[in-house]
Chain A
Amino acid sequence: MNIIVVGLSHHSAPVEIREKVAFSPNDMQRPLRQVFDLPDIGEAMIVSTCNRVEIYATSRDPDAGIAGLRRFMADFHQLSQDDLQPHLYDYQGEEAIRHVFRVSASLDSMVIGEPQILGQIKTAYGYAAEFKTVGLILNRFLHKAFSVAKRVRTETNIAGNAVSVSFAAVELARKIFGSLDNKTVLLIGAGEMCELAAKHFINNGVGRVLVTNRTFSRAERLAAEFAGRAIPFEEFPEHLHLADIVLTSTGAPTCILDRSRVEKVLKIRKNKPMFFIDIAVPRDIEPQVNGVPNVYLYDVDDLQGVVQANLKERHKEAKKAEEIIDLEIGQFHAWMGTLQVKPTIVSLRRRFEEIRRGEVEKTLRNLKHVDKKQEQAIEALTSAIINKILHPAISALKEKQNGEGDNFVDAVRTLFALEGTSGETQFKPLAVDDDDLETDQPTPDQSQGAK
């Protein structure tokens, strides 16, 4: 059984194509059932976000499975094959595992480290579980992907630094002040971006907001929104010393704050640090203000620079994340290997036991005057013969489960005509644990949701 992935993303398709193949979250049952009913597909789930549309599935014949999913993507959305196929990518086996791990860990996202993708995959998995199109393999695979994503998030700093201008401002403030509790923000001007940045500051614990604007009523409205205090524009220099963080976005044609004023303010504040964020263009604050000790001035370009530096740092962290994924792929692959071997061993034992039991019953019917003790001796003899015959074959299968397992499984299944002989579904034996391989206990059916 192989894991396969067919899909497209911001890497391979423009938004005009992505929006055409997106699946509606309100109608997931229909496409999921259709994929699930495709020949060569065992289990399936569909991930559909604004940046990617992907189908994760299992298949005994990966090439046929991929071809089927490619056709389905075009047919379902009534697109021509020629239009869609160039934008689709597909993966199978180890590459598919790697791809899904990378997507879950947000290494394949437009903004590396963004946290939304994991939630979106969890939602997609939720639909598939609800409509019972996932079984043992995808269940385990997706849970593994979630744990890999969590490991990446905790063991690397991939999501540690802000990649939006507003968040970058908050992060810089934290680098200066540590905690933002009990800090005061002064908004000079009431532009949209200033308002957004102020909201981020408030959400991150800033204690007090002062607002000033040329139109006082607007300052009052904004102050009310933030439970702050409005200050008439002419009076704001007198209140400047109260502010730890100053956000400016006025439409003034020249600077409204210069170095000498800020130096005076710092004296009143006994050199307590101040952070100025000048979002206005043209700028509201004289650049020389940055030269005042304990004062930090950032304009829009500076903040963009911080965002770029943070993105660079995230890319460095991504390399560590790739190493984690390499390790996890190895472990998951080993588990996949055991999936091929374990059911075959159980089927093999069951097949031999069926033959033994049939022959023993036939023999006992023909023999007369066989007492209980002799019957037990026949049972023990035949069981011992079968165990001795099976022992080398089972040992070889176990040994090869992580290597040439597939070849051995195919050989054993063909030689002993195991396919379909046990009357089990293809996933049924997958839930056995090691104890089942040593005994002949019936296997519990845990194939719920899978074919």
Chain B
Amino acid sequence: MNILLYKITLLVYLAATVLFLVDVITRRVKLGTIARWVLGGGFLLHCVTLGARYFATGHVPVVNLHESLSFFAWAVIGIFFLFDFKYRLDILGAFSCPLALALMILGAATTAPTPTVNPALDSWWFPVHVALAFLGYAVFALSFVAAVMYLLQERMLKSKSFSGLYYRLPSLEILDNINYRCLTIGFPLMTMGIISGAVWANSAWGGYWRWDPKETWALITWFLYAALLHGRLTIGWRGRRAAIFAIIGFLCLMFTFFGVNMMLSDLHSFNALEGR
């Protein structure tokens, strides 16, 4: 049942992505509004999908890769709506939606058997840690999107050669602002995610920090974002440099999520989570 719901959600996200892209390419009035409604519908459906998964498995659905990708995509769309409420930028949808869609497609490509959580890990710190971490991921995903848009717009303004995208992208100020806001929201979420993870690790394995590859990479990413925040607040980093940092930070984050989980075997790999 939840797999069917997942597939329907994926199709709705696909429709919203197409609508956002057509809106941005052709700038047909009303298409952006329709896209938001479709995406909103998809988001609600996604909430139902996650709920159904929760009731079917009996645990917060973030245990295997399929569930994590689904939760990540849900968080990206949720955070998009939070920012869209303030900025109302169709182009933000046109960049965020494909990202969520890609996560959903990856999720659909991975197997989704009902996982059995290792009893040793069955603590309420686990969902808190994972939810905080993924919300942080989602905020940084939006910051990545804004950073890419910033670099594109900045490049056109510097080179003085304007493509159609120039007219669709918002001002550098707005994009830099989104980037900064994402950092101020995402960094505390990430920090709390790491702290709650340490507490969970202590209850599960009897130690706060084990320097496994995932923890190491999470710390590297944290330092990157900490450096960016410090640079912004004290040295006055902004614009291009901040955008490049945000992109590097997100790539590092994605490696922490995908690369470490899939390539390296450690306590954070999904096999370990599932007790295999």
Contacts and interface: CB of A to CB of B under 8 A. Distances in A.
A298 B161 CA distance: 12
A157 interface: yes
Of the candidates A271, A298, A302, A316, the one having the most CB atoms from chain B within 10 angstroms of its own CB is: A271
A294 B238 contact: yes
A309 B157 CA distance: 12
B238 A272 contact: yes
Interface stretch (A169-177, A211-219, A245-253): A169-177
A115 interface: no
A272 B171 contact: no
Contact of B157 (A160, A161, A296): A296
Contacts of B166: 175, 309
A86 interface: no
Nearest to A312: B162
A305 B160 contact: yes
B29 interface: yes
Given A296-B158, A306-B162, A176 B240 contact: no
Interface string B132-166: 00000000000000000000010001101110101
Q: Number of contact residues on A: which range applies?
A: 20 to 34
B29 A155 contact: yes
Interface in B184-236: 235-236
A358 interface: no
A177 B173 contact: yes
A178 B164 contact: no
Contact of B164 (A156, A272, A293, A316): A316
B236 A175 contact: no
Contacts of A296: 157-158
Interface string A315-347: 011001000000000000000000000000000
Per DSSP, chain B at the interface is: helix
B162 A270 contact: no
A175 B240 contact: no
Contacts of B153: 175
Given A157-B27, A293-B240, A273 B172 contact: yes
B181 interface: no
Contacts of A272: 236, 238
B258 interface: no
Contacts, number: 67
Contacts of B162: 306, 309
A306 B160 CA distance: 8
A172 to B, nearest CB: 7
B245 interface: no
B174 A294 contact: no
Given A290-B158, A296-B158, A306-B160, A160 B173 contact: no
B236 A270 contact: yes
Contacts of A12: none
A271 B238 CA distance: 7
Interface residues of B, number: 26
A271 B173 contact: no
A157 B174 contact: no
Contacts of A320: 26-28
B171 A178 contact: yes
A406 interface: no
B237 interface: yes
Interface string B26-65: 1111000000000000000000000000000000000000
A313 interface: yes
A154 interface: yes
Contacts of A154: 29
A181 to B, nearest CB: 11
Nearest to B163: A309
Contacts of B160: 298, 302, 305-306
Given A271-B237, A271-B238, A293-B239, A174 B171 contact: yes
A150 B140 CA distance: 41
B168 to A, nearest CB: 9
Interface string A149-163: 000001111001100
A269 B122 CA distance: 52
A176 B236 contact: no
B182 to A, nearest CB: 17
B237 to A, nearest CB: 7
Contacts of A155: 28-29
A140 to B, nearest CB: 25
A309 B28 CA distance: 20
B239 A161 contact: no
B228 to A, nearest CB: 14
A272 B166 CA distance: 21
Contacts of B88: none
30 contacts: A160-B167, A172-B157, A174-B171, A175-B157, A176-B157, A176-B171, A176-B173, A177-B171, A177-B172, A178-B171, A178-B173, A178-B174, A178-B177, A269-B236, A270-B235, A271-B237, A271-B239, A271-B241, A272-B236, A272-B238, A293-B240, A298-B160, A306-B160, A306-B162, A309-B161, A309-B166, A313-B164, A313-B167, A317-B27, A320-B28
Given A179-B173, A294-B239, 20 more contacts: A157-B27, A174-B171, A175-B153, A175-B172, A176-B173, A177-B171, A178-B170, A178-B171, A178-B172, A269-B236, A270-B236, A271-B239, A272-B238, A273-B238, A293-B240, A302-B160, A309-B162, A309-B166, A313-B167, A317-B27
Closest 6 CB pairs of A and B: A270-B236, A178-B173, A178-B171, A309-B162, A155-B29, A271-B236
Interface of A: 154-157, 160-161, 172, 174-179, 269-273, 290, 293-294, 296, 298, 302, 305-306, 309, 313, 316-317, 320
Interface of B: 26-29, 153, 157-158, 160-162, 164, 166-167, 170-174, 177, 235-241
